[in-house]
A and B are shown apart, each in its own frame.
Chain A
Amino acid sequence: MRALSYGLLLLAATVTGCASTTPTRATADVRDDVRARIGHDLRWDRQTKEDDEAKKAIDALLARELGVDAAVQIALLASPRVRALLEELAIGQADLVQAGLLSNPVFGFGKTAWDGEHIVPNLFASVEQSFLDVVTLPMKKRVAATELEATKLRVAFEVIDLAADVRRAYYEAQAAEQTAAVSTLLNEASQTAAELARRQHAAGNMNDLALSSELALAADQALALRRAVTDAAVARTELDKHMGVWGPRTAWKLPRRLPDLPPEEPSLEHLEARAVGERLDLAAGRRSLQALTSAISLAKTTRWFGKVDVAVEAGRLRETRRYSFGPSVALEIPLFDQRQGAIARLEAMARRTDDELQALAVDVRADVRAGRAKLVAARATVSDYTRTIIPLREDIVRYSQQQYDAMLLGVYQLLQARQAEFTAYTDSIAALRDYWIARSELERIVGSRLTPNNPR
């Protein structure tokens, strides 16, 4: 019996292994997944030495002109949201450890209700251990490990999604700042026209009606400028939120202009297949399904096994005054509960997961097509601005200047031509912003960058 107890302890030690509760491996896997898909480094902030490096890296990134990749990198290093996500890994890891633990032996101690002839002073003790655990433990561990795999994929997916949020906020902020800058010029043009009008009026060359009209235009423009400046400030704080920075770290500086269109679009063919293959939420779903399948087979395997409790009991013999041990086995007879309900429930959950997975795949495919259409359209719009609309507006200014020089056009019309050009710039900024957002969105949908890490 002693041998049995030792055996049990040994077995327990083997089965539970030396599984750590620190999800180092899981974090590394997530980091690899993220890096492979979006090219960014992910660190886990846990007051370690690595953290100091991360902090230094963040400050170094913020000290320079902030590019879109830098913004994403900062978010991955600094955002408490990312850290919160990563804690999922710790939770999953803990679950895995938990799944690998044998249930604890039950120590019983008691006094018999009757006077035993042999046992004095009718006291006994027992150690009871469920043996089903020993059989099911590896399977349970496999289920938990698969679930941890799913969690890792889900976490990586969320991180990539969050990176797309950062990119969107980045382009919004940059476009808003650029728009505010153009709005400043627009306002200057209006205020200058207003000043000319005031002078013309004072000299007796402009009537009250015309003056009021000029002044009203200038007043409208001043309002528009204030709106644009506020929009830019708000867009900045959105990016602050997404990067997870506050205080002195919010003093970052963006490049003055949105990046130009890349010379060509990466091949948009086979994107659907790529998305279905690469999306980590799909992979996570598949892992969840796998975990459920394992759980079902576990349940099915053990449906005819009831609980097997093995116990060792001890009592002191009256005559010999020695302790005596005796084993006992309690077998559950699966007469009524053969886990039909639990198995059916698990099977239904598996089917549901499978359906959800398929639905998600259909959604992803459709989203890829929509995202691709938006990207192509956004690119065409930007091209229209850069190839047609802006050059035409610039021509109009040039020709207006020419006509002004020939005294065929007044200064107000000249300034208006310039203002129309500025408005076209503003529209083109919005178009370029929409392009980069469409691109980020498509990357979000595909689950990875369209081209590996393009700068800015």
Chain B
Amino acid sequence: MKLLPRLLVLILVLCAKTAFAQQYVPVVTPNGSTLPYVMKDGVKEFRLTAEQVKREFAPGMIVNAWGYNGSSPGPTIEAVEGDRVRFYVTNKLPERTSVHWHGILLPNGQDGVAGLNQDHIKPGETYVYEFTLRQHGVHMYHPHSDEMVQMAMGMMGFFVVHPKVPEVPKVDRHFVVMLGEWFVEPGTATPNPMVMNDFNLFTFNSRVWPGTDPWVVKKGERVRFSFGNLSMDSHPIHVHGYTFEEVGTDGGVVPKSARRPETTVNVPVGSTRTVELVANVEGDWAFHCHKSHHTMNAMSHDIPNMIGVAQPPALEDKVRSLLPGYMAMGEKGMGDMMEMGLPKNTLPMMTGTGPFGAIEMGGMFTVLKVRAGITSYADPGWYQNPPGTGAHKVDAPPP
């Protein structure tokens, strides 16, 4: 008598598994990809290769990074709560490594802290990890072996576990964005892992504006953004035109009662934050880190401060007689000082042009493009403000 209910439960579970297997909405990894898998004996089998990669941060700038399967960040792992997953991890780096499954609940022997939970994976070796996913949420993976170097070189990725039972209301579009900080000396290509504070490049999925893809959604969609942070600083990520609610962390789902409206979510070091909004206002909305140096490219932090220092033409000419290409700068700020010349493989500090001219931003910056009536998520171009709805120049009103 006890066998029948158990059998029924088993049949139900099997049916549910079959029914819900591919029913989650896959996440979007802007400028990235999702890691494919094969089913083997009921186990989702993934292959990760740790290796050196060339990452184009933006057109014209290639970085000698480290990553997985040819990219930094590594491809996003997607699975469903209750799945048994298996990872074959091959080390093609010049040094040993390991993979830690950040935020995932699993047996101690799978946690990936080299030296503590397992042997180091030496160059050329392949290790296997296997465990069952007992939770859902947005998590991460990264090395736990010489991590100062390996993470500074770009080795990290998302591990998204979808809920077994689809959420209500349904999320239409879910972007996962890994926040990164780098120091790439202007004119060079290899990040310097020794730098701790003085970073000069700040990335969304290892891309900088204007190399970051726009985040395109259809008007009315429920949109979720997950930000992962394995850098050295916290990043207050700010949206324009909307408020969002923080719905999850790498620890799990935030209860509805604890959610509050925000326009900026501070993503602490070693965490993910997931926010949600309903895209009901059309337009091109800036989405960026609110630390102003983090929306700059290749900047130097020790140039003389020339703000308000008068450099009359006669003085400029004097310098120019010694240095024919010289141009005085900084007196009135830096906004109009772009692209006079650059070392090779170096992006302008402030760059990217919009429909109204220079956007004067770089780094952790992109545009949320909300459009009605689009049929694809390809870049729809710049938003045309309806007539009479834009700010415009007028004569100053009388006092």
Contacts and interface: CB of A to CB of B under 8 A. Distances in A.
The judgment on whether A and B are partners is: yes
Contacts of A404: 326
A418 B318 CA distance: 13
Given A406-B348, A407-B349, A205 B326 contact: no
B22 interface: no
Given A409-B303, A410-B304, A401 B325 contact: yes
Contacts of A200: 304-306, 309
B323 interface: yes
A95 to B, nearest CB: 65
A406 B343 contact: yes
Given A406-B346, A418-B323, A411 B308 contact: no
A403 to B, nearest CB: 6
A205 B308 contact: yes
B307 A408 contact: no
Interface stretch (B97-105, B144-152, B333-341): B333-341
Given A188-B322, A415-B323, A418-B322, A406 B349 contact: yes
Interface string B297-331: 01110111111111100010011011101111110
B269 interface: no
A199 interface: yes
A212 interface: no
Interface string B334-370: 1001001111001011000000000000000000000
Nearest to B349: A407
A195 interface: yes
A70 B218 CA distance: 87
B84 to A, nearest CB: 51
B186 interface: yes
Contacts of B328: 411
Interface in A405-433: 405-412, 414-415, 418
A40 B129 CA distance: 93
Contacts of B346: 406, 408
Contacts of A199: 309-311, 315
Contacts of B341: 401-402, 405-406
A401 to B, nearest CB: 5
Contacts, number: 100
Contacts of A63: none
Contacts of B342: 402, 405-406
Interface string A87-115: 00000000000000000000000000000
Interface residues of B, number: 36
A412 B326 contact: no
A331 interface: no
A409 B298 CA distance: 11
A411 B304 contact: yes
Contacts of A310: none
A196 B303 contact: no
Contacts of A410: 302-304
A399 interface: yes
B299 A415 contact: no
Interface residues of A, number: 30
Nearest to B310: A199
**Main SS of the interface on chain A?**
helix
A22 interface: no
B308 A414 contact: no
A127 B5 CA distance: 173
Contacts of B319: 192, 196, 411, 415
A206 interface: yes
Interface in A163-193: 185, 188-189, 192
A203 interface: yes
Contacts of A412: 304
Contacts of A203: 307-310
A407 B186 contact: no
A188 B304 CA distance: 20
A407 B329 contact: yes
A409 B300 contact: yes
B306 A205 contact: yes
Contacts of A408: 186, 298-300, 303, 343, 346, 349
A401 B323 contact: yes
A418 B319 CA distance: 10
A397 interface: yes
A38 B343 CA distance: 53
B310 A206 contact: no
A200 B306 CA distance: 7
Contacts of A202: 309
Nearest to A408: B300
Contacts of B321: 188
Tell me which of B303, B327, B337 has the highest count of chain A C-beta atoms within 10 A of its own C-beta.
B303
A199 B323 CA distance: 20
Contacts of B304: 200, 205-206, 410-412
Which of A185, A199, A206 has the largest count of B CB atoms less than 10 A from its CB? A199
Contacts of B334: 407
A182 to B, nearest CB: 12
A397 B303 CA distance: 17
Contact of B327 (A185, A196, A403, A405): A405
B323 A205 contact: no
19 contacts: A192-B322, A196-B315, A199-B310, A199-B311, A203-B307, A205-B304, A206-B304, A206-B305, A401-B325, A401-B326, A402-B341, A402-B342, A406-B346, A406-B348, A407-B300, A408-B299, A410-B302, A411-B319, A418-B322
Interface of A: 185, 188-189, 192, 195-196, 199-200, 202-206, 397, 399, 401-412, 414-415, 418
Given A199-B309, A199-B310, A406-B340, 11 more contacts: A196-B311, A199-B311, A205-B309, A206-B304, A397-B323, A402-B343, A403-B343, A406-B348, A407-B349, A408-B298, A409-B300
The list of the 3 closest CB pairs from A to B, nearest first, reads A405-B341, A405-B340, A410-B304
